[in-house]
């Protein structure tokens, strides 16, 4: 097991250096009430104690997610703004001739993180901040994130940590127990979960990432997701 105090200091130092190198004034990030964004928010606050802004951006979200995000912001004294995006989202659906219904189709689901990305970059540019993401290594490996949505950030301080490791470092950061215990979810609709949508458990995915082994029932979908999402892990293709 890693020395999580040392790892926390390493991530915080990296964030500080990145902000300084960019000539930025601080960090802005989305706070979803989930474990990844909570860990990222606390680390960002450690790096830029007086210049971190958390944005809570509910959009057809479960009310508990907002309450959880507010709990983290209050516990760690992270300045936050809440900007509901439901009206903007519903207006877009209306313009497209669509209606909200669960489960969302992928094009409609991906609109939500892309709207959030737009708001994050509005505040980042307004305040001369960098956008800090919360995507972890497990999600990056299989492409379980939205291109130009939650993948559209300036910094990814958790990109080297699997989901299993996120739970471990979260415990050392004293992230509230209700957040540690809730099922991981992108918050795209009520009762949506990461593992349910991917069709595999994080335990199986992290075993593959860490050791390259696993049950065939898990290996096949993991390899398919990695292949299908390869374009997400590269800059746009260019003709040289």
Q: What is the pLDDT of residue 32?
A: 96
Q: Is residue 207 part of a domain?
A: no
Which class for 173: exposed (0-12), middle (13-18), buried (19 or more C-beta within 10 A)?
middle
Tens-place pLDDT, residues 166-219: 999 999 999 999 999 988 777 666 677 888 888 889 999 999 999 988 888 889
- The answer on pLDDT for 78 being more than 90 is yes
- Strands across the sheet with 52-56, in order? 80-82, 52-56, 26-30, 129-131
Domain span at residue 29? Answer: 4-197
Q: How many domains does the chain have?
A: 1
From 5, 67, 75, 82, select the one nearest 33 (Cα to Cα).
Answer: 67
- 142 SS3 class: helix
Q: What is the pLDDT of residue 184?
A: 78
Q: Is residue 230 part of a domain?
A: no
Tens-place pLDDT, residues 137-169: 999 999 999 999 999 999 999 999 999 999 999
Tokens, residue 46? 């450690």
Q: Is residue 29 part of a domain?
A: yes
Q: What is the pLDDT of residue 189?
A: 63
Contact 161, 169 (CB under 8 A): yes
Cis amide linkage into residue 103, ω under 30° from 0: yes
Q: Is residue 231 part of a domain?
A: no
Q: What is the pLDDT of residue 192?
A: 72
Q: Is residue 239 part of a domain?
A: no
- The answer on pLDDT for 28 being more than 90 is yes
Contact 165, 155 (CB under 8 A): no
pLDDT confidence tier of residue 69, bands split at 50, 70 and 90: very high
Q: Is residue 167 part of a domain?
A: yes
Task: Look up the CATH number of the domain holding residue 31.
Answer: 3.40.50.620
- The answer on pLDDT for 39 being more than 70 is yes
At a CB cut-off of 8 Å and minimum separation 6, what does 119 contact?
55, 57, 83, 85
Q: Give me the helix-helix angle, 202-211 and 216-228, nearest 10°.
A: 80
CA–CA separation, 77 and 127 (whole Å): 19
More confident residue, 101 or 7: 7
Q: What is the pLDDT of residue 131?
A: 98
């Amino acid at each position: 097991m890693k020395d999580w105090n040392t790892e926390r200091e390493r991530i915080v130092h990296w964030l500080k250096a990145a902000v300084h190198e960019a000539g930025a004034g601080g960090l802005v990030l989305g706070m979803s009430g989930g474990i990844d964004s909570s860990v990222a928010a606390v680390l960002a606050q450690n790096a830029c104690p007086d210049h971190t802004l958390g944005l809570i951006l509910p959009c057809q979200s479960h009310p508990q997610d907002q309450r959880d995000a507010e709990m983290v912001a209050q516990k760690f004294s992270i300045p936050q703004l809440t900007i509901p995006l439901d009206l903007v989202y519903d207006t877009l659906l209306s313009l497209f001739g669509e209606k909200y219904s669960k489960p969302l189709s992928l094009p409609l689901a991906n609109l939500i993180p892309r709207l959030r990305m737009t708001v994050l970059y509005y505040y980042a540019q307004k305040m001369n901040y960098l956008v800090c993401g919360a995507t972890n290594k497990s999600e990056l490996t299989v492409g379980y994130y939205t291109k130009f949505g939650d993948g559209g950030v300036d910094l990814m301080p958790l990109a080297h940590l699997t989901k299993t490791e996120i739970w471990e470092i979260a415990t050392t950061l004293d992230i509230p127990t209700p957040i540690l215990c809730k099922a991981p979810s992108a918050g795209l609709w009520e009762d949506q979960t990461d593992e349910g949508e991917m069709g595999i458990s994080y335990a199986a995915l992290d075993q593959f990432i860490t050791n390259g082994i696993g049950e065939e029932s898990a290996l096949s979908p993991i390899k398919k997701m990695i292949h299908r999402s390869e374009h997400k892990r590269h800059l746009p293709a260019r003709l040289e």
